[in-house]
Structure 1
Amino acid sequence: MKRVKKGPADFRAMPWRNGLGVTREMHIAPEGASLGAGDFLWRLSSADVAAGGPFSPFPGYDRVLFLLSGEGMDLSVNGSGASLAEPYSSIAFRGEDDVHCSLRGSPAVDFNIITRRDRLACAYELMDQFAGETPIRLAGDITVLLCLRGEVDVRGALQERLRAMELVILEDYETGTALSIGGPGASKVLRITLTER
């Protein structure tokens, strides 16, 4: 099983495509791909959102946006309203959708998954009920485990401790590979599964 661990020191600060802010690129694949060239298959990022405005367009990609902190944000997606009012709430939309956001108060921090629609399917699960160790079985072609809060220990086919905003990317594993995740009850982990189409 191939694994890559990353933390905040590895993330790259990059300007938004629309020039209205800066994001921290946590991972982009394949190696050598870039946001500007539009040749990437998937990307993980986090941004500090200090003001509302339009989202950058990404035709042909699917997006999932999570609110990590702040008082929330209200979104307009093709004219329909939606809200991210609580930390760790999320919304999925297409990269070509017309999306605008406005903040409910203080600046917010978000997390974004973006995947190329014709090449990858994306599933995700927020894990936050750790009683001892929680067993999981790997599926799809790529799994990302991202610790959003606290710290957790991943055991089984690999041994990793993940602290807040650290992640591990797993590839080349057998479907059904068993792992367990354990940590304090307040910890939160986002499990992302990418499957080739």
Structure 2
Amino acid sequence: MRVIRKTPRDFVPKPWKNGLGVTREIHIHPEGANFEEDSFLWRLSSADVTAGGPFSFFPGCDRSLFLLSGDGLDLELRGVKVSLAAPFSSIRFKGEDEVMCSLPGGACTDFNIFCRRSGVSCEYRKIPVTALQKRLFLLGDWTVLFCLRGGVAAEWEGEWTKLEGMELLVLEDYPADFSLTCRGAPDGEILLVTLTARD
């Protein structure tokens, strides 16, 4: 089993694919893959969105986008307008969709999951983590624990680590019955991302 812990100091600045901004690459699989050449299977990133405009195209990918901070993000895609206003609200869409964004309240920060549609599926859920211990059974082939807010302690097989906001664990090659426990501050919340390779 492999456990990778990352903090914002580990994130790598990368230009947006359309050249209109800069993102912070949080993790990419396989490691060392080039997102500009579309050689990745899945990828996590975060960006400060400071102006409206079109999203980059990622044909063959499914995208999930979360609002981390700011006063909202308005999106228009497939002829429909969608507003992300609440903290950690999210939307799924295809990488080949034409998406325009606008900022009704100024700059905001987002979090993105990119998955190669032919190679991997993605499920996620937000989990409140309080002082009470919570046990999580890990499914899929890769699991990401991304701390949205508060401080969260994770324990597994005699090991433990503490995550603060924007810090994460990436777990892979774990056995089928693997689980870990989490506990945190009263306002602690994590995003649990499960990625499963397609046959």
| TM-score, with length taken from structure 1 | 0.97
For the pair 1:183 / 2:179, whether they are aligned, the reply is no
- Compute the displacement of 1:156 (Å): 2.7
Corresponding residue SS for 1:9 = helix
Q: Gapped runs of 5+ residues in structure 2?
A: none
Separation in 2, partners of 1:78, 1:16:
22
Identity of aligned residues (%): 52
Corresponding residue SS for 1:36 = helix
- Counterparts of 1:1-40 in structure 2, within 5 Å, are 1-40=1-40
Match of residue 195 from structure 1: 196
Separation in 2, partners of 1:58, 1:21:
16
- Compute the displacement of 1:164 (Å): 1.3
Equivalent residue pairs, number = 197
- Counterparts of 1:1-197 in structure 2, within 5 Å, are 1-157=1-157, 158-197=159-198
Q: For the aligned residues, what is the CA RMSD?
A: 1.0
Q: Gapped runs of 5+ residues in structure 1?
A: none
Amino acid corresponding to residue 38 of structure 1 in structure 2 = D
- Compute the displacement of 1:130 (Å): 2.4
Separation in 2, partners of 1:164, 1:75:
25
- Compute the displacement of 1:74 (Å): 0.9
Separation in 1, partners of 2:104, 2:144:
30
- Compute the displacement of 1:49 (Å): 0.4
Amino acid corresponding to residue 193 of structure 1 in structure 2 = T
Separation in 2, partners of 1:178, 1:28:
23
Cα shift readout 1:17-47 (whole Å, capped 9, x = no counterpart): 1111111000111022111111000110000
| TM-score, with length taken from structure 2 | 0.96
Separation in 2, partners of 1:174, 1:43:
23
Separation in 2, partners of 1:141, 1:122:
10
Separation in 1, partners of 2:66, 2:177:
27
